[in-house]
Structure 1
Amino acid sequence: MSFIAKLKLVTSKRERNLSPIMLRRQKLATKIEEQLELARCQKSGTLYAPKRLKTVTNESGERVVVETTKRVKEWFWKTPNNKINLSVRYGSKTLELAKGKNAIELGTQDELIETLALLQQVVIGGELDEAINNASDKLRAGFAK
């Protein structure tokens, strides 16, 4: 019996065009995953330094691909009363999570990690679509002349 005969073969076509809503959800979920890894590393006392590939021109004029450290800005910070505030960002815009509210107040690093994991599920589920669309519209308006 051949190897191919052992596999379950199906007819399928890959969907190439995702809706803009799905693309925005994926983008935000990926960024939340970065924040989650950053928070986990801070809790364990290690350095979070994700890598990315970058094309640069060297001294001889050749374009080469080099691996660099990706810069990840924290979405969370400590307040003077030792609480942790977390804001959710889409691009350079902070999402408004409720009317006039743009941050989540948390008590501990463990709460931060749990909240980021929950936020990722909420984004994938589509509960923040309206806030994402508002932020996306504001970003696009900044590029219009």
Structure 2
Amino acid sequence: MATLSSLKLVAAKKPTSQNPVHHRRKKLSLKVLEQLALAKALKSGETYSPTRTKMITNADGERVQVTQPKRIKQWWFVDGNKVLLQVRYGAKVLSLNGKSNAIECANAEGLITALTTVNEIVLAGELDDQISAVSGQIRGAFGK
């Protein structure tokens, strides 16, 4: 019991729900970090393939857990000698300042820098209005 008394014990209750703005912000940040890992892997000539766990029914009719590579679409494309990055929330492209929807980068190093900056902006909450607008569009499409 001496070791238990050396710890700080508190009565805690886990929150039942999370603020939707913080949840969307965290969700987008995780996707930006995935894109950042993809860009770094492509720059170094490696492949980046995160995995996901999925339950499937095998030939014997048993449900088994299988690890499969996760499909990631890159958010950037090359136009001439510049790289254009579009930030996506789900399948929708975010409008960054009202009329622009892409970030122009000079090369792969600029793309990595831009993705790092976008992640900082998302975590700071500067894109909350754009995320909420796109999230509303996505939720509205499910009601049809």
TM-score by length of 2: 0.93
Structure 1: 5+ residue stretches without partners: none
Counterpart Cα distance in 1 of 2:10 and 2:143 = 46
CA positional deviation for 1:122:
1.0
1:1-145 matches, cutoff 5 A: 2-80=2-80, 82-145=81-144
Counterpart Cα distance in 2 of 1:11 and 1:144 = 41
Once the two structures are superposed, residues 95-128 of structure 1 have per-residue CA deviations (whole angstroms, 9 ceiling, x without a partner) of 0001221100011211111111111111111110
Counterpart Cα distance in 1 of 2:117 and 2:74 = 17
RMSD: 1.4
Counterpart Cα distance in 2 of 1:132 and 1:85 = 20
Once the two structures are superposed, residues 43-93 of structure 1 have per-residue CA deviations (whole angstroms, 9 ceiling, x without a partner) of 11110010100111101111111000000100011112x101000000010
Counterpart Cα distance in 2 of 1:101 and 1:112 = 17
CA positional deviation for 1:7:
3.1
CA positional deviation for 1:5:
3.6
1:4 aligned partner, one-letter code: L
How many residue pairs get aligned? The number is 144
SS of aligned partner of 1:25: helix
List structure 1 segments (4+ residues) > 2 angstroms apart after TM superposition: 1-16
CA positional deviation for 1:11:
3.7
1:94 aligned partner, one-letter code: V
SS of aligned partner of 1:78: strand
TM-score by length of 1: 0.92
Counterpart Cα distance in 1 of 2:117 and 2:4 = 41
SS of aligned partner of 1:133: helix
